[in-house]
Structure 1
Amino acid sequence: MASELAPLLLRVTLCTGAAIVLLLLLRQPLRRWCGASSAYLAWLIVPMVAIAALLPGRSAPQVLTLQLPHPVQALAAQATPAASPAAADVLLAVWAAGALAWAWWCVHAHRAFLRRAGRLAPHGAVYVSAAGAGPASVGLLRPKIVVPHDFAQRYTPDEQALVIAHEQTHIKRRDAIANLVAACFQCAFWFNPLVHLGVRRMRQDQELACDAAVMARHPQQRGVYAEALLKCHTRVGGAGLHCHWQSPHPTKERIMNLQHALPGSLRRVLGRCAVVLLAAGAFGATLGVRAEPAASAPMYSVALSLDGGVQEPESIRLHFNAMERDESDTASPLHILARSGESFSVASDGWRIDMTLRQGDAADQVWLAGKLYKDKTLVSTPTLLTRLGEQATVRVGDGDALFSLAMKVTTKP
């Protein structure tokens, strides 16, 4: 629902923003003490935090079985869906428009590079472009190394080998997939400048990690490698999904980084361990923060009343994620406590009605969003907006087979 988009976007934006700020502060110390690969690996924390922010709140489901009248066999949900608030609809439209615009920009930047490359002619382990595009590794499923038409004239044989080794490292590490994930983040969070800054710094760490990997195999070629970096004059207009030799990265920083001694094996292992611990801590902290709104959400007391036709009693199961069953009201055998955002279900003979409580726009209103299933198949999605203390009913069937589930929601201190 559109009304659920705003809190979801806000939660994920705040969590990923905090993770990006943390990595912006730690990337240089990580690179200095543990190597560029550890700094690049640490960016995996951002999607992990996003996943943790999207997970539902933690609550242990409880099951209560009661003897109640048998429900009807025919179902027809008779609840008028309430329209989403206009502000939520506008927010959804603006977000979707921004996401589509940014997706178009990413596709345009990638296609622009392919147009600049022109026709690709295979030449050994590389593909020579008809124009000056490259060097770069291009493609997700079948990646290839693209070099400019003057590659052999511009670079010496040693420099050519180092450039190709750099792009082969990109392909081996599947960096294009990482770039695709980063582009998806930019599309989803186009309104957050921290995401765009974080993607840019991630791409920089990606290049530094590849530089370090090549230098680990060719430690005596630092000068040659620096000369190769200075010989690329192609202006990169947009990063796209490909991994460009002359990426949007300060060339001076890459050359200065070549002068630093590579960390030893112990420091690299310790760096990876530190990243794993940092990722686990960020994931756990996000889950903890995710659980806090549920704990502070309003508590409601829900009285359920089932009215069925003349049938033999059957076992009806009531599932709920409430803190406890409300024992203060003895008039109804179905009376539970539930927080905003929690759900409960009434099920019998293959039928199941899932209901979720959410606080309404006004203080005295509550949303009841339902899903009606038959043998795990979704039949209907009734949505009701009711006032506290008033009865909301979902009716099923007609005549002697009439069955209704009435719900009266009140606040619980």
Structure 2
Amino acid sequence: MSAAGVLRTLLETTLASSAAVLAVMVLRGVLRAGFGARIAYAAWSLVPAALVAVLLPAAGEGPTSAPALAFVAEASPWAFASEEGSTTNPAAWLLAGWLVGAVATGLWFAARQRGFWRALGHLRLRDDGMYQAETVAGLPAAVGVWRPRIIVPMDFDVRYDEEERVLLREHEHQHLVRGDLRFNATVVLLRCLFWFNPLLHYAARHFRQDQELSCDQRVLARHPASRRTYGEAMLKTQLATQPWPLGCHWGFCHPLKERIIMLKQPLPSFSRWLSGCVCVLALTLTGGYAAWAAQPNDAVAAHLSAGRILVTAVLRINDDEPTTTTFVTMPGQSLVIDGSANGHDWAIEGTVARGVGNQPDVLMFHSTIKRDGKVVATPRIGMLSGQPGMIRMGADPHAGGENDRIELHITLTAAGAGT
């Protein structure tokens, strides 16, 4: 895939993920109140669903194979022609900047994670299968993506009584069995890829809040008579000063008051939970379909036979509505865009060629504009595959005639450029 293609995919996934995040942020409170914290947490599945949907092949019909295209427009004598286009590749510089940002963000997360691991000191395996650290801040916690483990503070047996220790272990165990550590690693990966999107970083905080509330609800479902003890264990837990990027632990940026309030609320019934699952499934499928259907249908160039070129032209005459046409051609094959208007016959004859000078990747579009068989302009434009260019022409303002103008936005995509 070309640099321009990567950037376009990045833009499309950014828009899709942002829309999904906004939808979840709006609905999470309603879902939690109506169906419980577990359903609100499950609603975040809309974000990866939207991302995957955007990466699927777009819908729609493919381009026509006819080499000729006609249009009719008002016309007047042309006095000059201008062309705009670039054979440079600014997309490569933008792609390099994005890559630098993604790597820098990943290194920042890695440094934080390494710092937290080093702060734990020596980890001692306990008889109950958990590990005991030489510190207390941010613990207990479930950490590790490839080798998940539960780590408790050095004063675990002193600070908590037996029932509280059972509840805390159950809480961290729920993180492990539900795969929350892998979900958190996915969030970190997305924050690295979309490091330039502040909305995603903001949403990560609320994702972790819903994760903890969901885990609390699961613990209470297994220990319904231990609400008070569970709340006391929360109050005893020392809040972490900084979060683990890849861990699940108590006190991570979620309001303690919100968790205590939830302890007083009855657990949702099975029917409410099931209704919530249906709502989340419908939300995910609808959002994913919307993201898939909204993407432009330009991936067809990846399926063209060798040597063919996909041409997308957007023509605008004066202030009229632009007309978009897509078709397939071969290098050197003549294209004719003709029509008649205002008593004159107009024809735009063009060919596409590969390479210019020492730049073999450039696609050239040579055109000849005729009125009543007489050549009035011969503009040409060069561009890289998949990058748009424009030819602008207009009447001479000093000739005293109407200031008619035409803009032709054209994109040439070589076969296989979308792969």
TM over 0.5, shorter chain: yes
8 Å contact kept, 2:59–2:297: no
In structure 1, how many angstroms separate the alpha carbons of the residues matched to 2:140 and 2:264?
A: 23
8 Å contact kept, 1:132–1:234: no
- The alpha-carbon distance between structure 1 residues 191 and 304, as it changes in their structure 2 partners (threshold 3 A), is closer
Identity %, equivalent residues:
35
Report how far residue 300 of structure 1 moved.
Answer: 3.9
In structure 2, how many angstroms separate the alpha carbons of the residues matched to 1:14 and 1:213?
A: 33
Q: What does 1:264-279 align with in structure 2 at a 5 Å threshold?
A: 264-279=269-284
Q: What does 1:41-80 align with in structure 2 at a 5 Å threshold?
A: 41-59=42-60
In structure 1, how many angstroms separate the alpha carbons of the residues matched to 2:87 and 2:131?
A: 53
| Aligned equivalent of 1:128, options 113, 125, 132 | 132
SS at match of 2:330: strand
In the other structure, the counterpart of 2:307 is none
Q: Provide the alpha-carbon RMSD of the alignment.
A: 3.2
In the other structure, the counterpart of 2:105 is 102
1:284 pairs with 2:329: no
- The alpha-carbon distance between structure 1 residues 301 and 43, as it changes in their structure 2 partners (threshold 3 A), is closer
- The alpha-carbon distance between structure 1 residues 57 and 292, as it changes in their structure 2 partners (threshold 3 A), is closer
SS at match of 2:132: strand
In structure 2, how many angstroms separate the alpha carbons of the residues matched to 1:33 and 1:204?
A: 17
In structure 2, how many angstroms separate the alpha carbons of the residues matched to 1:58 and 1:214?
A: 44
Report how far residue 303 of structure 1 moved.
Answer: 3.8
In structure 2, how many angstroms separate the alpha carbons of the residues matched to 1:292 and 1:236?
A: 48
8 Å contact kept, 1:129–1:149: yes
1:180 pairs with 2:188: no
| Aligned equivalent of 1:362, options 366, 390, 397 | 390
In structure 2, how many angstroms separate the alpha carbons of the residues matched to 1:270 and 1:101?
A: 43
| Aligned equivalent of 1:299, options 325, 337, 342 | 325
In structure 1, how many angstroms separate the alpha carbons of the residues matched to 2:233 and 2:142?
A: 16
8 Å contact kept, 1:2–1:84: no
In structure 1, how many angstroms separate the alpha carbons of the residues matched to 2:12 and 2:327?
A: 27
In the other structure, the counterpart of 2:90 is 87
In structure 2, how many angstroms separate the alpha carbons of the residues matched to 1:300 and 1:86?
A: 24
Deviations 1:137-194 (A, max 9, x none): 1122331110011111111111111110000000010100000111111011111111
User: Partner amino acid for 1:200?
Assistant: R
Report how far residue 233 of structure 1 moved.
Answer: 1.7
8 Å contact kept, 1:163–1:245: no
- The alpha-carbon distance between structure 1 residues 118 and 305, as it changes in their structure 2 partners (threshold 3 A), is closer
| Aligned equivalent of 2:173, options 168, 171, 174 | 168
TM-score, scaled to structure 1: 0.69
Q: What does 1:201-220 align with in structure 2 at a 5 Å threshold?
A: 201-220=206-225
In the other structure, the counterpart of 2:116 is 113
SS at match of 2:390: coil
In the other structure, the counterpart of 2:22 is 21
User: Partner amino acid for 1:278?
Assistant: L
8 Å contact kept, 2:313–2:411: no
In structure 1, how many angstroms separate the alpha carbons of the residues matched to 2:123 and 2:411?
A: 61
| Aligned equivalent of 2:163, options 147, 158, 180 | 158
User: Partner amino acid for 1:170?
Assistant: H
Q: What does 1:333-372 align with in structure 2 at a 5 Å threshold?
A: 358-363=386-391, 366-371=411-416
SS at match of 2:386: strand
SS at match of 1:145: strand
Q: What does 1:320-335 align with in structure 2 at a 5 Å threshold?
A: none
In the other structure, the counterpart of 1:340 is none
Report how far residue 291 of structure 1 moved.
Answer: 4.1
1:31 pairs with 2:32: yes
Give the unaligned 5+ runs of structure 1.
65-81, 308-325, 330-334, 336-355, 372-380, 383-413
In the other structure, the counterpart of 1:11 is 12
TM-score, scaled to structure 2: 0.68
In structure 1, how many angstroms separate the alpha carbons of the residues matched to 2:241 and 2:218?
A: 23
SS at match of 2:142: strand
Give the unaligned 5+ runs of structure 2.
66-84, 300-311, 315-323, 339-350, 352-383, 392-407
In structure 1, how many angstroms separate the alpha carbons of the residues matched to 2:92 and 2:336?
A: 40
In structure 2, how many angstroms separate the alpha carbons of the residues matched to 1:42 and 1:232?
A: 28
Q: Which has the higher contact order (CA 8 A, sep 6+)?
A: 2
